[in-house]
Amino acid sequence: MRIATWNVNSIRTRVGRVADWLVREDIDVLAMQEIKCKPEQFPAEAFEEAGYELAVHGLNQWNGVAFASRHPMTDVSTSFAGMPGFLKGLEGPDQPQEARAIGVTVNDLRLWSLYVPNGRALGDPHYTYKLDWYAALTEHTRAELAANPDLALALMGDFNVAPLESDMGDPSFVPGVSTHISPAERAAFATLEAAGVSDVVRPLVPEGYTFWDYKALRFPRNEGMRIDFILGSPAFADAVTDAAIHREERKGDGPSDHVPVVVDVELDGDDDDRPMFY
């Protein structure tokens, strides 16, 4: 089974690119982030014609997450336990949740499409929200794996953190000033991994960025960052046979500023004869 994650940065703008890529790359399940639409606005026809069913969670023209799958999806969840909300100018525990998480079960795999808050700026309330969001996701992950240690779980999406120094190549991000590289954010990412998941792509693809800003010729200069990940439980990681970052999808007309991250997973009884990535 071939599973991917992609921050599409508006599915209505990029539906043609995404649907064509799904078919061309023989993707079984795609986790999408920043779809930027409500479910009734999602361009479903192109996916359905290509043989995919959809699970969509969007509340407005911002954020939004979704899955496209060739296989049946069950146990659809649009939040996880303790997931915080955010509304600028409002404090306290009852802030409205944003469309940043959707979970589905596909062939005994528990998959999440996640769009972690950006943080905006150090000291901004959105930065606190980001750290709180990470803390809740970590507790949810720890509890889910404690209840089912053999669960094949994958957390996929835009994590808005460059965990390693080598993951940050954008010179506009300055230590001590910028988000994505602060010690607290990197510690939050590491704590999430310590809850029982690991980056299943990096061992196979040790180098490469997944995001390049549209500004200042960041892509031609390869001044990007690695912020899109597939974090898998031991049961999921053990099933991964190959991985790739599809850098070429940042080229051409109207690309997203992110590119797809893909893994091949060999399930029990899976007779997958597709070629490996090179």
What does the pLDDT average to over 180-188?
98
As a CATH number, domain 2-265 is: 3.60.10.10
Comparing 43-47, 86-90, 108-112, 210-214, the range with the smallest average pLDDT is 86-90
Pick the more confident residue, 92 or 253.
Answer: 253
Structure confidence by residue, pLDDT tens digits, 81-97: 999 999 988 877 789 99
For residues 185 and 190, give the distance between their C-alpha atoms in angstroms, rounded to a whole number.
Answer: 9
Contacts of residue 51, Cβ cutoff 8 Å, sequence gap at least 6: 70
Q: What are phi and psi of 23, to 5 degrees?
A: -70, -45
Strands (E), the chain: 2-7, 29-33, 53-57, 65-69, 74-77, 101-106, 109-115, 152-158, 198-199, 228-232, 240-245, 261-265
The structure tokens 């061992």 sit at 203
The structure tokens 């597939």 sit at 230
Structure confidence by residue, pLDDT tens digits, 21-79: 999 999 999 999 999 999 999 999 999 999 999 999 999 999 999 999 999 999 999 99
Task: Note whether 163 and 227 are within 8 A (CB).
Answer: no
Structure confidence by residue, pLDDT tens digits, 217-252: 999 999 999 999 999 999 999 999 999 999 999 999
For the chain, give me the number of helices (H) and strands (E)?
Answer: 5, 12
Domain boundaries, the chain: 2-265
Q: What are phi and psi of 65, to 5 degrees?
A: -135, 155
Handedness of CA 35, 39, 45, 47 (dihedral sign): positive
Strands 261-265, 240-245: pairing is antiparallel
pLDDT at 278: 46
Mean predicted lDDT score pLDDT of the chain: 96
What does the pLDDT average to over 134-161?
98
Identity at 119, one-letter amino acid code: G
Q: What pLDDT band is residue 269 in, cutting at 50, 70 and 90?
A: low
